[in-house]
């Protein structure tokens, strides 16, 4: 019987920083509050991805946003995107989900590469009702596209490092459609 994987913050921070601290001047750190991306400044030498309250899954989510963001976006606080917190109305939630499809597909790929369960996040507990399954279908469709056309390059670099660390395996062995099953996937 296989023993469960121990996911430590030191692992994800170390893997990310090993991959990108030198090449992209970007470091991953455990924050104390809400997650945020901060570009380098005169007083802050490195770009920083601060994930929420020491949660491994939050680190994967914030990394996914970084992997998707282009060079210009990575020069802006939180990539220059708007964010309306919990309590969004129906239109705001639809806009949120539209911009979250790609990052959550990347996060799902990262989760597969470290052996962690993935659940979509609608992030709107006190707002308009959310159809999580419909959103999950959209994220899954994006995963399928990434499996055919390739995940973003930075995501692939980290995914490979995670596959080696957690499974002593090559990326191609983990990033297969069979690793992306979810409850309700046949309910379309």
Instruction: Inform me whether the pLDDT recorded for 140 exceeds 90.
Output: yes
Instruction: Inform me whether the pLDDT recorded for 124 exceeds 90.
Output: no
- pLDDT, mean of residues 60-77: 96
Sequence-ordered alpha helix ranges (H) in the chain: 9-24, 56-68, 90-114, 132-149, 153-167, 171-174
Question: pLDDT above 90 covers what percent of the chain?
Answer: 70
Instruction: Inform me whether the pLDDT recorded for 129 exceeds 80.
Output: no
Instruction: Inform me whether the pLDDT recorded for 109 exceeds 60.
Output: yes
Instruction: Inform me whether the pLDDT recorded for 3 exceeds 60.
Output: no
Which of the residue ranges 28-32, 128-132, 154-158, 169-173 would you say has the lowest mean pLDDT? 128-132
pLDDT in tens, 73-89: 999 999 988 777 778 88
Among residues 92, 89, 97, 64, the alpha carbon closest in space to that of 79 is found at: 64
Residue 35 confidence (pLDDT)? 92
**What is the DSSP pairing of strand 47-51 with strand 36-38?**
antiparallel
Please give the distance of CA 54 from its chain centroid, rounded to a whole number. Answer: 15
- pLDDT, mean of residues 110-134: 83
Residue 183 confidence (pLDDT)? 82
**What is the DSSP pairing of strand 47-51 with strand 26-30?**
parallel
> What rounded mean pLDDT belongs to the chain?
91
Instruction: Inform me whether the pLDDT recorded for 1 exceeds 50.
Output: no
- At residue 19's C-alpha, the angle toward residues 22 and 55, to 5°, is 115
Query: pLDDT class for 2, splitting at 50, 70, 90?
Result: low
């Amino acid at each position: 019987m296989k023993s469960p994987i121990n996911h430590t913050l030191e692992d994800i921070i170390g893997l990310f920083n090993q991959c990108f601290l030198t090449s992209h001047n970007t470091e991953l750190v455990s924050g104390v509050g809400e997650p945020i991306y901060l570009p380098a400044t005169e007083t802050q030498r490195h770009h920083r991805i601060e994930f929420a309250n020491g949660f491994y899954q939050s680190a994967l989510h914030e990394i996914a946003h970084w992997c998707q963001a282009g060079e210009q976006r990575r020069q802006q606080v939180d990539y220059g995107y708007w964010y309306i917190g919990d309590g969004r109305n129906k239109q705001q939630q639809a806009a949120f989900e539209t911009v979250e499809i790609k990052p959550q597909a990347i996060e799902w790929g990262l989760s597969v590469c470290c052996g962690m369960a993935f659940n979509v996040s609608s992030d709107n507990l006190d707002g308009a009702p959310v159809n999580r399954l419909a959103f999950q279908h959209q994220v899954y469709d994006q995963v399928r596209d990434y499996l055919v056309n390739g995940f973003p390059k930075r995501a692939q670099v980290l995914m490979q490092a995670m596959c080696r660390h957690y499974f002593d395996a090559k990326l191609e062995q983990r990033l297969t459609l069979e690793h992306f099953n979810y409850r309700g996937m046949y309910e379309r």
